[in-house]
Amino acid sequence: MPKNSGNSRPSAYLAPAMTDSEPLLSTLDALPEAGRIRSRKVSGGVATIIADASGLGAGERKALEANLKSAAALVPGIREVRVGLTASEPNRKLVAVASGKGGVGKSTLAANLAIAIARTGKKVGLIDADVYGPSQTKLLGTDERPTAEDKRLNPVHAHGIRFLSLGQLVSPGHALAWRGPMASGALAQLVEADWGDAEILVVDLPPGTGDVQLSLAQKSRPDGAVIVSTPQALSLIDATRAIDLFGKVSVPVIGLVENMSGYVCPHCGERSDPFGSGGAEEAAEAMGIPFLGRIPLDQSVREASDAGTPPAATGGPQSEAFAAIARKVLAALETAPASKHSPLEEIVDASG
C-alpha cells in the first residue's frame, strides 16, 4: 500500500500561482485571430504560438503571423516571439486526364472538365503537365504568369478555376526542352503549389505513357484517371496502352471519353463520322471500364478553344456534354476508396 494514498489533504486550499503564460493568454484570447490559435506558451521570456493557417492564401498567412507576433511582443516580460503556422490540407482529389496519342482533344477535355466541375460548386485547380505542348494558357485565354511565395507557386485564376501550366515557366514561344527527371521535377513543383482550398486537381498529362505519367502516378497517387480517345481504332489502341499503364501502377481508371464523335455539317446539317462511330463505347465495354460520354466534333468547340473561352464556361450548346461527364467523374470520386491524401498536418511556416 503506497504511502499517502489515503485522504490526506493540504490543510488549506491554495489558489494556483499566476503562471508566466497568463498575460499572454489573455492578450491572445482577445484577438480576432484567437480561433486559429492551437497552442501558446511562454518559457524564459520566449513566447511560442502555433496557429492554424488552413485555407489562407500566402498574404493572409503573413498577416496572421505578423498580427500574432506584434500582439505577443507587447505583453510585459516577453522578449522574443516565435510563431509557427500549420495547415491541414483539404482532402484533395487528384484526377489525371490522359490519352494514348496527341491531338485527340485531351487538353480541351481537361480544361472543360475542370470548369464543368467548378460550376457544380467545387473548388478546382488545373495543372497543365503536357510537356510536349502545354496549351492551357491559350485554352484559358490568359498569359498571366504565376507569382511565387517562399518558393511555392501561386496559381493563376481564370473561368472560375485556378491553374498552373508548364508553359508559364518558360518565355512565350520557347519550346520546353524538358524530358525525364526535369519534366518530373517541374510537375512536382506544380502539384505542390499553393492550391489553397482547392478540393479537386485536374492534371492534363502529356500524351502517351512516359516518365511524366509514371512520376505522377508514383509520387502523387492520383485518385483516378480519365482517358480521352477519338472513336478511331488507332486512337483507341493507344488509349488501351494508357489504360494498361494506370492499371499497372494501381491508379483507378474512372472511364473513357469519346471526343470528336460525329460531325454535324454547319451548312447542310448532315451528320457524318469522320473518325468512325461508337468505337470508344465498345472499347470501354470490352475493357470493363465505364464509358463517360462523347463530345461531338464541332467547329464551335475549336473556335471557342482558340479564343480562350472554353465552351464549358460559356453555357453554350456543348457545355452540357462536359457537365454530364463532370457529374460522372464526381460520382466516381465520391465512391472511390478512401483517399490516401489523408488530412495532413504540415508546418508550412515557422519563424523565430
Footprint of ligand ADP on residues 74-103 (CB under 6 A)? 99, 102-103
Q: Which stretch binds ligand ADP (CB under 6 A): 104-112, 142-150, 173-181, 209-217?
A: 104-112
Binds ligand ADP (CB under 6 A): choice among 40, 93, 106, 162: 106
Cα separation, 154 vs 139, whole angstroms: 19
Determine if 259 is a binding residue for ligand ADP (CB under 6 A).
yes
Report in angstroms how near the CB of residue 230 gets to ligand ADP at its nearest: 9
**Closest to ligand ADP by CB, 75 or 323:** 323
Footprint of ligand ADP on residues 183-202 (CB under 6 A)? none
**Closest to ligand ADP by CB, 23 or 210:** 210
> What residue type is assigned to position 343 of the chain?
P
Question: How far from chain centre, in Å, is Cα 105?
Answer: 21
Report in angstroms how near the CB of residue 268 gets to ligand ADP at its nearest: 18
Cell 493557417 sits on residue? 53
Report in angstroms how near the CB of residue 41 gets to ligand ADP at its nearest: 54
Indicate the DSSP class of residue 199.
S
In this structure, the number of other CB atoms found within 10 A of the CB of residue 62 comes to 16
Binds ligand ADP (CB under 6 A): choice among 65, 194, 223, 298: 298
Residue-wise DSSP of 205-244: PPSSSSHHHHHIIIII--SEEEEEE-SSHHHHHHHHHHHH
Cα separation, 342 vs 172, whole angstroms: 38
Cα separation, 121 vs 56, whole angstroms: 19
Footprint of ligand ADP on residues 302-341 (CB under 6 A)? 302, 305
Footprint of ligand ADP on residues 115-154 (CB under 6 A)? 135
Cα separation, 81 vs 68, whole angstroms: 9
Cα separation, 67 vs 31, whole angstroms: 9
Cα separation, 227 vs 109, whole angstroms: 10
Determine if 297 is a binding residue for ligand ADP (CB under 6 A).
yes
Please report, as ranges, the residues that interact with ligand ADP according to CB under 6 A.
99, 102-108, 135, 207, 259-260, 295, 297-298, 301-302, 305
